[in-house]
A and B are shown apart, each in its own frame.
Chain A
Amino acid sequence: MTRPNRPLRIARPSGMRERLVAVFMLGLALFNPPLLAVFGKGGTVGGLPVLFLYLFVAWIGLIVLLAAIIEGHGEEGTEKPDDLVPRDGGDG
Chain B
Amino acid sequence: MLQGWVVIGVSFAYLCLLFAIAYYGDKRADQRRSLIANPFIYALSIAVYCTSWTFYGSVGRAAESGMHFLPIYLGPTLMAALWWIVLRKMVRISKVNRITSIADFISARYGKSQTLGGLVTIIAVVGIMPYISLQLKAISTTFTVLLHYPQFEVAPDLVAVPILADTALYVALVLAAFSILFGTRHIDASEHHEGMVAAIAFESVIKLLAFVAVGVFVTYGLFGGFGDLFTRAMDHPDIVRLFAVGDAAEYGGWIALTLLAMAAIICLPRQFQVSVVENVDENHIRKAVWLFPLYLLVINIFVLPIAFAGMMLFDPSEVNPDIFVLALPMANQSETLALFVFLGGLSAGTSMVIVETIALSTMVCNDLVMPVLLRIPWLGLQKLKDVSKLLLSIRRWTIVLVVFLGYLYVRLIGESFALVTIGLVSFAAAAQFAPALIGGIFWKGATQRGAMWGLSAGFVVWLYTLLLPSFARSGWLPESFIEQGLFGIELLRPYQLFGLTGLDPVTHSLIWSMMANLGCYVMVSLLTQHTAIERIQAALFVDVFRPSGEGGGSQFWRGTATVADLYALVARFVGQERAERAFSSYSQEHNVDLRTLRDADAQLVNFAERLLGGAIGAASARVMVASVAKGEIVGLQEVMEILDEASQVIAYSQKLEAKSRELEAATTELRAANERLKELDRMKDDFISTVTHELRTPLTSIRSFTEILHDNPDLEAAQREEFLSIVIRESERLTRLINQVLDLAKMESGNIRWSMAVVDVRDVIRDAVAATGQLFKDKQVNLKVTAPDQPVPLWTDGDRLMQVVINLLSNAVKFSEPGTGLVSVTLDVRASGITVSVRDNGPGIPYWAQSRIFEKFQQVGDTMTAKPQGTGLGLAICKSIVLRLGGSIWVESEPGRGAAFCFFIPARPVEDEPAEAAGRAEPGGVAE
Contacts and interface: CB of A to CB of B under 8 A. Distances in A.
B230 A44 contact: yes
Contacts of A84: 545-547
B290 interface: yes
Interface in A14-61: 16-17, 20-21, 23-24, 27-28, 31-33, 36-37, 40-44, 46-52, 55-56, 59-60
B444 interface: yes
A31 B227 CA distance: 24
B77 A51 contact: no
B245 interface: yes
Given A17-B85, A36-B254, A49 B443 contact: no
Interface string B693-717: 0000000000000000000000000
A27 B259 CA distance: 13
A36 to B, nearest CB: 6
B543 A66 contact: no
Contacts of A37: 245, 251
Contacts of B80: 66
Nearest to A46: B227
A50 B245 CA distance: 11
Contact of A86 (B234, B443, B445, B545): B545
B542 A88 contact: yes
B289 A31 contact: no
Contacts of A56: 297, 301
Interface in B66-82: 66-67, 70-71, 74, 77-78, 80-82
Nearest to A16: B84
Contacts of A32: 254-255, 258
A21 B82 contact: yes
Contacts of B293: 59, 62-63, 66
B81 A20 contact: yes
Nearest to A54: B67
A27 B78 contact: yes
A42 B243 contact: yes
Contacts of A41: 244-245
Contacts of A52: 67, 230, 243, 304
B282 interface: yes
Contact of B84 (A17, A42, A60): A17
B84 A47 contact: no
Contacts of B82: 20-21, 24
A63 B84 contact: no
Prevailing SS type, chain A contact patch:
helix
Contacts of A88: 442, 542-543
B290 A50 contact: no
B412 to A, nearest CB: 35
A78 to B, nearest CB: 6
B74 A59 contact: yes
A24 B81 contact: yes
Contacts of B301: 56
A81 to B, nearest CB: 11
B647 to A, nearest CB: 10
Interface string B432-449: 000000010111110000
Contact of B245 (A48, A51, A78): A51
A78 B84 CA distance: 10
Contacts of A36: 245, 251, 254
B231 interface: yes
Contacts of B228: 47
B28 interface: no
Contacts of A21: 81-82, 85
Contacts of A83: 545
B736 interface: no
B660 interface: no
Interface residues of B, number: 50
Contact of B244 (A51, A60, A66, A90): A51
Contacts of B258: 31-32
B189 to A, nearest CB: 24
A51 B444 contact: no
A24 B76 CA distance: 11
Contact of A42 (B70, B74, B240, B439): B240
Chain B CB count within 10 A is highest, among A17, A20, A50, for A20
B476 interface: no
Interface string B131-171: 00000000000000000000000000000000000000000
B78 A28 contact: yes
B243 A24 contact: no
Contact of A24 (B70, B78, B283): B78
A18 to B, nearest CB: 10
Given A51-B244, A90-B439, A20 B289 contact: yes
Nearest to A50: B243
Contact of A55 (B70, B85, B445): B70
A86 B228 CA distance: 56
Interface string B605-621: 00000000000000000
Contacts of A60: 297
B542 A90 contact: yes
A49 B240 CA distance: 9
Contacts of B70: 55
Nearest to B82: A24
A86 B248 CA distance: 42
A20 B542 CA distance: 20
Contacts of B543: 86, 88
B847 interface: no
Contacts of B287: 70
A41 B424 CA distance: 26
A31 B78 contact: yes
Nearest to B308: A49
A47 B227 contact: yes
Contacts of B241: 42
B186 interface: no
Nearest to B303: A52
B294 interface: yes
B546 A63 contact: no
A48 B230 CA distance: 6
A70 B240 CA distance: 39
A83 to B, nearest CB: 5
A36 B545 CA distance: 38
Given A42-B244, A52-B67, A91-B444, A33 B251 contact: yes
B84 A67 contact: no
A46 B70 CA distance: 22
A92 interface: yes
A75 to B, nearest CB: 7
A90 B443 contact: yes
A21 B85 CA distance: 9
B77 A59 contact: yes
A62 B255 CA distance: 18
B417 interface: no
B286 interface: yes
A60 B296 CA distance: 11
Contacts of B71: 31
Given A36-B245, A42-B240, A67-B290, A49 B230 contact: yes
| 6 nearest CB pairs, A to B | A90-B442, A40-B245, A42-B244, A90-B443, A47-B227, A24-B81
20 contacts: A24-B81, A27-B74, A31-B74, A37-B251, A40-B67, A40-B244, A42-B243, A44-B230, A46-B227, A49-B230, A49-B304, A51-B67, A51-B243, A52-B304, A63-B294, A63-B297, A66-B290, A70-B84, A89-B442, A91-B444
Interface of A: 16-17, 20-21, 23-24, 27-28, 31-33, 36-37, 40-44, 46-52, 55-56, 59-60, 62-63, 66-67, 70, 75, 78, 83-84, 86, 88-92
Given A49-B304, A51-B243, A90-B542, 6 more contacts: A21-B82, A31-B71, A31-B74, A49-B230, A52-B67, A88-B542
